[in-house]
Structure 1
Amino acid sequence: MRVVRAEERYRGGDPSAGIESWHALSFGRFYDPDNLRFGAVIACNEERLAPGAGFGEHPHSHTEIVTWVAEGELTHRDSAGHSTVVGAGDVQRLSAAAGVRHVERNDAELPLVFVQMWLAPLEPGGEPGYEIVRGIADSTPYALPQAGAMLHVRRLRAGERAAVPDAAFVYVHVVRGRVRLDGEELGPGDSARVTDAKGLDVTGLDAAAAAGTETTGGPVAEVLLWELSGRS
């Protein structure tokens, strides 16, 4: 298991334009030949957009783009005619296929925070596709057959355990809160890349749980887990 801490990510974006970006894998001008991809995952970016900020129309091709909003609302428009507002708890997928252009903006009055994950498709080309799933429930998997992948969203209470999928590759990203995975404590923005995952679980933590005290209440952590097929 390789852990990448939040502070180890590459920093990008344009703060003067209200855009702050953190990249867990090589992205744009940030190139590391030993950090190009993990399984089908080729990018995991945390984006923070101030009100009114955004990314103007830009192209994509041969990429599966999955977006998870942590705070605020993301306005999406693309050249295939889709225009949507993505809120916290929604899963958005854009299949770029042979080519598509889109715009991503924060048109709301509050800051926007989202995690965007890019996956390599099993086959290049084809027609662009779009899907949004509103308010996906905890532990409900989201299949991405185009990339041979499955996304598991877990919202964990303190001390609650959730099974990590047994898979050739599992990519874990902590959106909020703290968790323990195979003896490692992970916090917001931390990620873990697990090869040949088997029999693992992830546990929600807070101060009381870390001290060994049982607590009750709502979720203390939100985690995204990608179950990936055996491609490196």
Structure 2
Amino acid sequence: MTDTSERPRADLRRAPERYLSRPEEGIETRHAFSFSGHYDPKNTHFGALLACNEETLAAGAGFDEHRHRDTEILTWVVEGALAHRDSDGHAGVVRPGMVQHLSAGSGVSHTERNIGGAEGPVRFVQMWLQPDAFDAEPAYGLRRVDPAQGGLTLLASGMARDEDGEALRLRRSDAALWLVRAGAWQPLPELPSAPFRYAHLTAGSVGYRTVPGPQGGGRSMAPGDSVRITGAAFADPVAGEDGAELLLWEMHSPVSYG
């Protein structure tokens, strides 16, 4: 898709609009962008974000070993527990309130499965970001998140300003992933500004204006909805009756080719 805009824009994409795939029994994925056999030349990425998949794995289901290269893979579990194991010897179980980062670098294989013995599904959001350092040694990180006061928590970042904090380190020097939370009917905290921002709602609801001022139309988000934000769009966001939790990408440059 086009990564430039003549004016600020908040492009709302509803959850049912995502491409739905069921590659194997017990696996259901809703894709925000072109992915695998599904190709839309007008929807290949936004900013530096290459994929944002909502995954559901039934009890006993999972992805068999598969390989990645030169991709930053971030995983946030909404429900259940996800078991990860990779060819570099890393293994972890990702649960709600934890964030996982796999930097594929020069190449790594991994499996992802609903944790053994689970009776219900695991639901998670997995996001792929283009790095700006290629062919590096693969790396892995997993951390439990202690939500910050004020509702804005840094989950992962490659930016120099964040290198001394607890956030997982990305191999992209101008991008960061945030967790945003707000209570019932409360305004969202002030969000970081960037040329490209991608907001994905994981729980609750959010109402907002498309742009600041009286020219901004009113919109609302439900779980699974996302907004692709350029410039100063996405104004005055407020949580609904059940509060809100969303993942927000702050990106200062788009995908680079060549």
Instruction: With the length of structure 1 as denominator, give the TM-score of the two structures.
Output: 0.90
**Alpha-carbon deviation of 1:157?**
1.0
> Is 2:198 the partner of 1:171?
yes
* Structure 1 residues 199 and 35: alpha-carbon distance in aligned structure 2, compared to 1, 3 A threshold: closer
Task: Check conservation: 1:178, 1:220, Cα contact below 8 A.
Answer: yes
1:82-231 counterparts in 2 under 5 A? 82-107=90-115, 108-137=118-147, 138-145=151-158, 146-147=171-172, 148-162=174-188, 163-182=190-209, 183-197=218-232, 200-206=235-241, 220-231=243-254
* Cα shift readout 1:180-206 (whole Å, capped 9, x = no counterpart): 132320111100000113683421112
Task: Check conservation: 2:207, 2:237, Cα contact below 8 A.
Answer: yes
Unaligned stretches of 5+ residues in structure 2 = 1-9, 159-170, 210-217
Amino acid at match of 1:149: A
Which of residues 10, 13, 16 in structure 2 aligns to 1:4? 13
Task: Check conservation: 1:169, 1:197, Cα contact below 8 A.
Answer: no
Q: Distance in 1 between matches of 2:181 and 2:193?
A: 19
Q: Distance in 1 between matches of 2:50 and 2:246?
A: 19
Question: Aligned pairs, how many?
Answer: 219
**Alpha-carbon deviation of 1:133?**
1.2
Task: Check conservation: 2:208, 2:234, Cα contact below 8 A.
Answer: no
* Cα shift readout 1:46-102 (whole Å, capped 9, x = no counterpart): 000101100000000010000000000000000111111100010100000110000
- 3-state SS of paired residue (1:177): strand
CA RMSD, Structure 1 to Structure 2 (Å): 1.5
Task: Check conservation: 1:79, 1:102, Cα contact below 8 A.
Answer: yes
* Structure 1 residues 61 and 136: alpha-carbon distance in aligned structure 2, compared to 1, 3 A threshold: farther
- 3-state SS of paired residue (1:7): helix
> Is 2:76 the partner of 1:68?
yes
Q: Distance in 2 between matches of 1:38 and 1:90?
A: 25
- Match of residue 46 from structure 1: 54
Task: Check conservation: 2:49, 2:130, Cα contact below 8 A.
Answer: yes
Unaligned stretches of 5+ residues in structure 1 = 207-218
Q: Distance in 2 between matches of 1:223 and 1:57?
A: 29
Provide runs of 4+ in structure 1 moved above 6 Å: none
Task: Check conservation: 2:74, 2:99, Cα contact below 8 A.
Answer: yes
Q: Distance in 2 between matches of 1:5 and 1:30?
A: 18
Q: Distance in 2 between matches of 1:197 and 1:94?
A: 31
Amino acid at match of 2:247: L
Q: Distance in 1 between matches of 2:55 and 2:112?
A: 11
Q: Which has the higher mean CA deviation after the structures are superposed, 139-148 or 61-70?
A: 139-148
- Match of residue 163 from structure 2: none
Q: Distance in 2 between matches of 1:37 and 1:117?
A: 11
* Structure 1 residues 94 and 22: alpha-carbon distance in aligned structure 2, compared to 1, 3 A threshold: same
* Cα shift readout 1:107-131 (whole Å, capped 9, x = no counterpart): 2222100000000001221000111
Q: Distance in 2 between matches of 1:197 and 1:91?
A: 28
- 3-state SS of paired residue (1:122): coil
Q: Distance in 2 between matches of 1:165 and 1:30?
A: 32
